[in-house]
Structure 1
């Protein structure tokens, strides 16, 4: 639960990445187009730009105990969900700043397809963010709407 194996030769050989000792549990990982590795951990979000030799904790993300991380190569956007949170966090500048919005559901994983966000919930459901800027509720104009898929 707290180690990571990396291969630089398409799986012919593997080496263990040096993780910070503070990391107890890795919940998800993602790779960005520049080769960075992103780890969603109980302790927060970590990034390595050198194949796991060194790690940086992204302190500007306002949550820990992360459930998932996803990197969209088309928009170069990073998406993060946290355990026991209904919010989706996004960054378009490699984690230097974050935006967030409430999905209305406890989310476990998130991905993107054809311009829509798809997320699994903690309770056996799937939600989709449609390409719209309609309000998710009457008090929050401009928030993108997420709805359940049946």
Structure 2
């Protein structure tokens, strides 16, 4: 399915570890996956997540957003909708699991660009799970 969206996206997808790919696939199968508060926490708790998964999902989200923003007309309306759904799902997984200041800043920038102020508010609520060193890193950035 990801291969339908272009070579760069397929390349980033193929570089994901199976566990990271599984996180995204499970999130895509969950109803309302783009709303992290309503997600099934048993699936989220059973999936391994680490700094490498953070980096991989961040790269995937960047590639998804770049492809979705391309205006060359090569992307059909239906595929564009699917692409945005996958990107929103990836962002929701990151929002739910990240503890990285860099990824958090990426999510805030993404929400600001989309003028999604409810998402920015939800991200602000997530700051409580960050280590003090990560919050300091956010302040510096």
TM-score w.r.t. length of structure 2:
0.27
Higher RCO (CA 8 Å, separation ≥ 6 residues): 2
Which of the two has higher C-alpha Rg?
A: 1
Greater share of residues in helix: 2
Greater share of residues in strand: 1
